[in-house]
Structure 1
Amino acid sequence: MPYDVAFRHQQALDPSALPTITAGVHALTRAIEDCRNAGVDYESDAAVILLARHLTTVTQNRPAEAILRRRCTERIAELQRFPALLTLAIRGVSYDAVAKDLFHADGRRAMRNLANALTLPEGSYTIRSNRSDPSVSGEITLHGEEVWVQLSLGALGPENEVSFRRVRGQHDLLGDRRRFAAIRELLNPARFADRLRRELHLAPAAAEPALLVG
């Protein structure tokens, strides 16, 4: 095996220099590549197996499996509802006209869903889309009688894509102090509506109409 090396075996015996998932995965990937170059079956290579087991050690201080599985399930649900918005929030839309069109179309739809979750009557709010300069995402804004919510990418970084505040009518352009939320909160309109009512002290949601019996 003229192309085999000892390095992966040394790492496997003392993985203390691999304290993170990234470092562990890199070492494992490199070990598999070494096996391929040497014509060794990496599925049975002792170093590869030990390095794979080391990843379990690295992740022991992470959340419990049940929590991680729930997060994966929630993430799948988010991606199924608005896959483009979550992706675009990560990669951005600067100088990409097609991505920007998609951002504004899905952003307006998300704002309509939020208005429905807040049970805002038709005509009591507006949803505006400002595309702005090609270098930025622009904004989508929901402006009601009591609440103002805006979606924009990039300016304040991740986890702050949504800003909101209490206002006093649709002509109030200043309102109270702005607060911030992650885009994933907007994509769960019922839960986000509850947060808005609680933090901004909005009027309670309109009661569901009573069912007529008999």
Structure 2
Amino acid sequence: MTYDVGYRFAQALDPSGLDTIAACLHAIQAAAKDCRNAGKPFETDPAVVLLAQHLAAVARAKMPDRAALRSLCGQAVAEIARTPLLTVLAARGVDHDADAKRTFHTEARRALRRLAEALQLASGTYEIRVCAGGPAVSGEVILHGDELYVQVSIGGFGRGEILLRRCRGRSDYVGERNHWARMAELVDPATLAARIARELGLAMPVELQPRLVA
């Protein structure tokens, strides 16, 4: 196998075709690979350094105000903190993204545990399990209790990402009529628990019952 270990120098000397951040990053990665092929350290390679400086120039041209960039990053961090990860994953999808899929399973299990607490389900009366499925699907995260079946998935069928139905024990995988909820409802376990109790005819926890105003 032959390597064009000199190409990085020609590109660094004439980077006129590298006018986007993505193109610059690709050129730097290719130059680093050339260095490895040539047995040279890429951290001090003049072509790599020149290409990195060109990347900085392209980035400055996109948005030169550093203070504004820091402010936008701060706003983005605040927005991320306000937006539950489950709703972000539901919006973007997790198919063919193993890391996102694992994160979805973890976050959905946590949300279903909070839902079980809001419903005051006793320990041992329910289980939470994952059906991972293949790489093209999100799989399902399931809370299966003695009277309740909740299935969470992304990009599935039906009128929402969350399937709700009453069941007769943990051997009942068919249950009664299906109800549907959106992912945003799962991140508010108390409200969803009250809806589940009301629509499925389950006993409503005392703190979720409507109170009469004197």
RMSD between aligned alpha carbons? 2.5
Q: Check if 1:111 corresponds to 2:95.
A: no
Counterpart for residue 85 of structure 2: 84
TM-score by length of 1: 0.57
What are the within-5 Å matches in structure 2 for residues 1-214 of structure 1? 80=81, 83-156=84-157, 160-205=160-205
SS at match of 1:202: coil
Counterpart CA distance in 2 for 1:160 and 1:102 is: 20
Consecutive unaligned residues of structure 1, counting only runs of 5 or more, are: 1-76, 209-214
SS at match of 1:107: helix
SS at match of 1:86: helix
Highest Rg: 1 or 2? Answer: 2
Q: CA deviation at 1:204?
A: 2.9
Asked if the contact 2:194–2:204 (Cα under 8 Å) also holds between the matched residues in 1, the reply is no
Letter in 2 for 1:160: G
Q: CA deviation at 1:207?
A: 7.3
SS at match of 1:194: helix
Distance change >3 Å, CA 79–CA 162, structure 1 → 2: farther
Letter in 1 for 2:98: A
Q: Deviations over 1:145-194 (max 9, x none)?
A: 1111010011227x600010001111111110111110101110000000
SS at match of 1:203: coil
SS at match of 2:87: helix
Q: Identity of paired residues, percent?
A: 48
Distance change >3 Å, CA 81–CA 196, structure 1 → 2: farther
TM-score by length of 2: 0.57
Q: CA deviation at 1:144?
A: 0.6
Q: CA deviation at 1:103?
A: 0.3
SS at match of 1:94: coil
Consecutive unaligned residues of structure 2, counting only runs of 5 or more, are: 1-77, 209-214
Counterpart CA distance in 1 for 2:90 and 2:82 is: 15
Counterpart for residue 28 of structure 2: none
Q: CA deviation at 1:109?
A: 0.3
Asked if the contact 2:198–2:204 (Cα under 8 Å) also holds between the matched residues in 1, the reply is no
Counterpart CA distance in 1 for 2:98 and 2:181 is: 26
Q: CA deviation at 1:86?
A: 1.0
Letter in 2 for 1:122: S
Letter in 2 for 1:137: S
